[in-house]
Amino acid sequence: MCGRFVAASPPDQIARYFDAVEEGEHALEPNYNVAPTHDVYAVLVDGGVRKLETLHWGLVPFWAKDPSVGNRMINARAETVATKNAYRKAFRKHRCIIPADGFYEWKAVPGQKAKQPFFIHRPDGEPMAFAGLWEVWRDPAQPDQELHSCTVITGEANEKMAAVHDRMPVMLPPSAWETWLDPDVQDADLLGKFLVPAPPELIELRPVSTEVNNVRNKGPHLLDAVEPAATQERLV
């Protein structure tokens, strides 16, 4: 799964990296502990233009009666995203990329109650490109009010990530971006080929403080490496 990630890069830098037009006037504050229901950046194609927009994390389908359903839809499983009612329409036409500087995952430690959090990032320091979906929800009571939301697609973990958790966000290589973002591409088999684990060499893992467990903590110190619990197995 993906329940926390880091989004600290400025929007103009993200837009250049993904060759997107920056939309909106208000930049998000750097956040080293992004949690569900927070606003996040997303790259999408709308009106034939690749844009960097701000979306609500937690997908709210167009048919939802109220936006609270999004609290349970922060992740979409790669195995069912093309067929599950909540996601299949967005999978056909509303795919996006959710940029991240890395993400967190927790590993159970034998003999200890608290899990050990890990920060997972690219060795080269470049942004991760999470595969995502986006939607527009309109309030039935106020049709002119729109909520733009998104979800992160997760799949099986690669060999390195499996030491901590059995799932991870789907990370798209640059060669897949144009096809993934194109709303005219609706071939589920073609799109499904992108929903695979990232190569192990594309990620590094390091243990970090349990301060990340509290969403009120959002500073860069959360990325500092710590000594893992003595009982924990060494990661390969």
Q: Please report which helix (H) or strand (E) contains residue 199, including its range.
A: none
Structural contact between residues 152 and 98, judged by C-beta atoms closer than 8 angstroms: yes
Please report, for residues 12, 91, 101, the alpha-carbon distance to residue 119 in angstroms, rounded to integers and kept in the order given. 24, 28, 10
Q: Which tokens in the block code for residue 199? A: 């190569």
| Residues carrying an active site annotation | 2, 105
Nearest CA to 57 out of 177, 189, 147 is that of 147
Nearest CA to 153 out of 52, 74, 67 is that of 74
Q: Which tokens in the block code for residue 210? A: 């349990």
Burial of residue 160 (number of CB atoms within 10 Å: 0-12, 13-18, 19+): buried
Structural contact between residues 119 and 104, judged by C-beta atoms closer than 8 angstroms: yes
Nearest CA to 130 out of 76, 71, 193, 200 is that of 76
